[in-house]
Amino acid sequence: MLPAGLCQPRGMKGQPMEPDGTSRLAALYLKKIAARINEIEQRFLYAPRLPVQDVAMAETTEHLSLADAKRRPYAPVKPGQRWGTNWGTAWFRLRVRVPADMDGRAVMLLFDLGGSECLIFRHGVPVQGLSWSRKEYLLFRRARVNQRAELYIEAGANGRLGAFELRTLQQPEIAVFHRAVWDAYWDLSALFDTVDTKQYWDWTGKPYRLPVEDDPLRAQVIRALNEAVDLFDYGNPSAAELAAQARRVRRRLQSIYAAPATHLAPTFAAMGHAHLDVAWTWPLAETARKCGRTFANVLELMKQYPEFVFVQSQPYLYEVVKQRYPALYDGVRARVREGRWIPTGCMWVESDCNLPSGESLVRQILFGSRFFQHEFNHDSPILWMPDVFGYTAALPQILRRSGIRYFFTTKLALNRFTKFPYHSFHWEGLDGSTVLAHFMPAEEYSAEVEPWLIRTGAHAYAEKDRSPIQILPFGHGDGGGGPSRPHLERLKRYRDFEGLPRVQSMSPAAFFSRLETESVGLPRWVGELYLEFHRGCYTTQARSKQCNRRAEFLLRETEILSALGMAWGRDYPQEQLATGWKLVLLNQFHDILPGSSIDEVYADSDRQYAQVFETAGALRAEALHNLAQRVDSRGDGLAVVGFNSLGWERHDTLAIDAAPLNEAAAYIAAAADGTQVPVQIGHDGQARFRGTLPSLGHQVFHIRPGITAALPLRASQRTLDNGLLKVSFDRQGRLRRIYDYRAQRDVLAADAVGNQFALFEDKAVSAGTAWEIDIYFNDKPLEFDGKLLSLARIERGPVRAVLRLRRRISRSTITQDVVLTAGSARIDFVSTVEWGDEKDVLLKVLFPVKIRSEKARYEIQFGSLERPTHWNRPHDMGRFEVPAQKWADLSEGNYGVALLNDCKYGYDVHANVMRLTLLRAAKNPGKSADVNRTHTFTYALLPHFGDFTQGLVRQGYELNAPPRTTTVRPAAGPLGPVASQLAISGTNVVIDTIKKAEDDAAMIVRLYEAHGWHSQHTMTTSLPVKRVVETDLMENEERDLQYQDGAVQLDLTPFQIRTLKLVLAR
């Protein structure tokens, strides 16, 4: 029941109304109160107002410095004038003089630029942003008559999320700011929000929790609000009268605000936050300006609100601000020293966590953590990843071995088939490492400090019976400018308020510390945090994904060769490699690499990858040449030095340019031990031969005229046969049989077609097309294999045989070289797709294999994991498309089949059908994405004995890291003609990385156990090493290892990552 004073006019007596009538009357009073609060805001906060008369504008398509902008010609503009071009900029110059009636008063600039994002410059430095969420700027705290100000305002023509529309200039004004009225207004507004029953929804469409209508406290608040708003005179009060009325309002509400939260009320850890996508629906250049606006806003607010704590992730953004806005950066440093601005997150950018390699994830943390330490003397113990599209099971180990103990996200709220069961939990990774994880119950990382959101979070918290605290990062993201004054005014009033949880300002580290110490019996989640959403991101923007894989392996090989050269006294190109890595890490941001950005972003990305390929490619070539010059290459014939960047001996195909050879002649390649193998000159101008290369080492081969007894592979126009496998196609170019001579069994299922291209309708409704593949795509296949245009044998020799198929499917053409190599059971499908003007389609390739297993295994970073091949449970069905690194495998114990790739990431294995997603035709937000482009890629099928432990991990690396060769003039050298620089015993260990240490001239070797085994190993080296030290992933020394006679013993646990520091004798 409402208090009697709200049931009828004051001074009247009568019977209480019926409940429904009471509810209607309460709603009527709430409307009245809301109207009065709105009137106070519109009429009394900023009055009087005067138009700014001296306004001029200069438009440009460039991103200018302030100095350059000042030199542009400015023309006077009037309200109503239209301005703007797509991604254009207008610079406004405002000149203000204080009139007599504003003398001694606080004066605000009010300027609504219609949703445009702006940055105000004053006295030569940026001071605050303007946007849809803030349209005022405090010009003078205490103005003096005739005091002047000149402002330059940089305004982007595109809106917060990139949309362009022609802008209309509104009239800028100056106004007196009434501080007393402001305080009373926020007392009223914040209190009103605690009782308002207006329905709000989160960004996923779920309703927020409303107050309980018959709560006695609510009735008291409504009565107090009603009495308080009536204390204002809504006529034409003077400034002194307004101030007196505002004080009376605050006194009336004081008793309400004085009542604290209950003893057992939970706590919300509130921290200002600005989620800034590095790129998305705007290009990288615009991100720099978004940072400037947001950072300026936060620094300005910190002057006004001493309790305000702000967190900002992504060191890349700080680097951008340091370069473009040095005055802002100095302000950030000062606030970091005070402990109010908290650099957080540890990764260089908020990276995708499915597609980058394990080493890329390590470098994200290495570069990010070192930046924070160097710039701010600050270590962040948290991986802050609110908006990333799923999290690999390798992450907990990577985090713990990097000194990171905590993990924060919200994205799992978007699951489509199941609800993630926990909010605070221990996340256990592939190797058993754990981190304390928090998934925000209110599910909004750009949160409002509003009662409806706070109530929703409190009631939704899955661990509310065992944890008294949850997180509340508040502020407008993606260019909204971060936290605003309304956020902070509400925060002051809800800090300890009866009827709500406590809302307390604190840092992320303080929150996690309390979560850790005050919670009991938190649950455990084991394995990947798969997001049942955004599955199209494994495939969209295929060129970007190919560039990422290519760059990762290029940098890996360049580092290895350069590190070996460093051991022999050459300079290590550390700065150039760091620049390359930073560009690759930048492009792994969770809206760039996944393919969910606009076309302009990928134009930037293409240029950056080209820079990486040019620089690192030249460095690799130089390092390989330097290695070859040290090798004893004397012998008869063309000297070829082959180098193996992998940590095991491999028998593989080496290739060189055939130009020095006579196509009509026969050649042999002679190894250092005198073994001779045939050389095959291919249709592509390459001369190939099979050779053995030692672990992380080289061998010299001499190519000269000669003939060996080796016979060409058997190959007709429709079959390939190397004695291990026979591969047969029918007249329509369909792969009808793969027979394994070794196992005496067929690889494909009976009557099945392998290497079958399937085109599906791909019209997602769950999200934009770049992000999503909806499960119903399976319901509508459009075409299988298309039309065969040609099928021919194009190459046959003792090294390999090749069939070329060309087929037309939809508006596209596929050219494929099917390659079978001597001595190898791997069938390579070297593919070129002229992907036409396709729309809303998805291209997969499928292999129905003669294997039965309830689980398939997929490679992830630093290991692999199993996923079901059935849809028994909603959680299984939700994983109808999954990410993998270089391979997926389906095995039944004594036999299996693997599907490998050199740049594809989206797999699905259902029952016995293995499918790899090749291309999509998404046109939102990128309008062209993959269409009307030529795509080149290779995938491979590998039948094998046993399970994935029978060499599959190595095959994945070998497909992606072929041997490197260079020709030299035969000469003596200090290195023998065949030598290994580093090796490790066993088949289950991968030496993934060799590089120079960050801070000294030692060498870092990173390896991992790849089969899930406990095992003992011996690592040997021929390098001049005097000491071996184990470090963490950040290269902090932990313990000396016993190193003797060039060897060190290692005990490894399943999927363990180990980092060793080899101190060189110089």
- pLDDT tens, 806-823? 999 999 999 999 999 999
Tell which phi-psi region holds residue 263, choosing left (phi > 0), alpha (psi between -120 and 50) or beta. Answer: alpha
> What is the predicted pLDDT for the residue at 159?
81
For residues 934 and 813, is the Cβ–Cβ distance under 8 A? no
Q: Two tokens at 473?
A: 């990062």
The length of the chain is 1066
Helix, strand or coil, per DSSP, at residue 152:
strand
Chain centroid to Cα 426, Å, comes to 22
CATH topology for the 754-960 domain:
Beta-galactosidase; Chain A, domain 5 (2.70.98)
Would you list the DSSP string of 350-382?
-B-BSSS-HHHHHHHHHHHHHHHHHHHS----E
In this predicted structure, what is the pLDDT of residue 830? 99
* pLDDT band at 211; cut points 50, 70, 90: confident
Q: Find tokens 């040019």 and name the residue.
A: 614
Residue 221: predicted pLDDT: 97
Sorting pLDDT into bands at 50, 70 and 90, what band is 1011?
Answer: very high
Question: What pLDDT score does 21 carry?
Answer: 61
604 Cβ neighbours under 8 A, 6+ residues apart? 279, 283, 284
For domain 268-533, give the fold. Answer: 7-stranded beta/alpha barrel (3.20.110)
Residue 440 clears pLDDT 60, i.e. is over it: yes
Taking CA 947 as the corner, what is the angle to CA 945 and CA 951, rounded to the nearest 5 degrees?
75
**CATH fold match for the domains 47-58+78-177 and 268-533:** no
Please give the helix or strand (H or E) that residue 829 lies within, else none: strand 827-835
Cα distances from 1002 to residues 126, 251, 1053, in angstroms, run 44, 69, 26
What pLDDT sits at residue 212? 81
Q: Does domain 47-58+78-177 have CATH number 2.60.120.260?
A: yes
Q: What is the 3-state secondary structure (H, E, C) of 223-247?
A: HHHHHHHCCCCCCCCCHHHHHHHHH
DSSP 8-class letter at 799: S
- When pLDDT is averaged across residues 693-699 and rounded to a whole number, the result is 99
pLDDT, mean over the chain:
96
CA angle 117, 121, 123 (to 5 degrees): 170
Give the confidence band of 20 by pLDDT, cuts at 50, 70, 90.
low
Rounded-to-integer distance, Cα 682 and Cα 1054, Å = 43
Task: Give me the pLDDT at residue 161, please.
Answer: 83
State pLDDT tens for residues 642-682: 999 999 999 999 999 999 999 889 999 999 999 999 999 99
Q: Which CATH architecture has domain 981-1066?
A: Sandwich (2.60)
Q: What percent of the chain has pLDDT over 90?
A: 92
pLDDT digit string, tens, across residues 90-121: 999 999 999 999 999 999 999 998 889 999 99
Alpha-carbon distance of 439 to 422, in angstroms, equals 7
Q: If DSSP codes are grouped into helix, strand and coil, which group holds residue 38?
A: helix
Can you give the three-state secondary structure of 288-353, one letter per residue?
HHHHHHHHHHHHHHHHHCCCCCEEECCHHHHHHHHHHCHHHHHHHHHHHHHCCEEECCCCCCCECE
Cα–Cα distance, 962 to 461 (Å, whole number): 51
For residues 149-157, give the mean pLDDT. Answer: 97
Residue 19 parent element (H or E):
helix 19-43
Report the pLDDT value the prediction gives residue 479, as an integer from 0 to 100.
Answer: 78
Question: What ranges do the domains of the chain cover?
Answer: 4-41+211-258, 47-58+78-177, 268-533, 754-960, 981-1066
Contact between 634 and 971 under an 8 Å Cβ cutoff? The reply is: yes
Q: Regarding predicted confidence, which is higher, 402 or 665? A: 402
Matching residue, tokens 């296949």: 781
Looking up tokens 């369909």 gives 734
- State the pLDDT at residue 12: 31
* Kind and range of the H or E run holding 664: none
- pLDDT score, position 14: 41
Helix, strand and coil content of the chain, in percent to the nearest 5, comes to: 25, 35, 40
Q: Model's pTM, two decimal places? A: 0.96
Comparing C-alpha atoms, which of 1019, 1011, 1009, 1008 is closest to residue 1062? 1019
Q: Do residues 639 and 702 touch, judged by C-beta distance below 8 A? A: yes
Q: What is the pLDDT of residues 604-652, one digit of tens each?
A: 999 999 999 999 999 999 999 999 999 999 999 999 999 999 999 999 9
- pLDDT-based confidence at residue 22 (cuts at 50, 70, 90): low
**pLDDT tens digits, one per residue of 540-576:** 999 999 999 999 999 999 999 999 999 999 999 999 9
999 is known as an active-site residue: no
Q: Which residues, at least 6 apart from 42, have a Cβ–Cβ distance to it below 8 Å?
A: none
Residue 225 binned pLDDT confidence (cut-offs 50, 70, 90): very high
Q: What span, in angstroms and rounded, lies between the C-alpha atoms of 887 and 901?
A: 6
Going by C-alpha positions, the residue among 853, 952, 944, 863 that lies closest to residue 901 is 952
Active-site annotation holder among 193, 277, 387, 591: 387
Phi, psi for residue 267 in degrees, rounded to 5: -115, 135
Which phi and psi angles does 60 have, rounded to 5°? -155, 160
| Span 494-505, pLDDT tens digits | 999 999 999 999
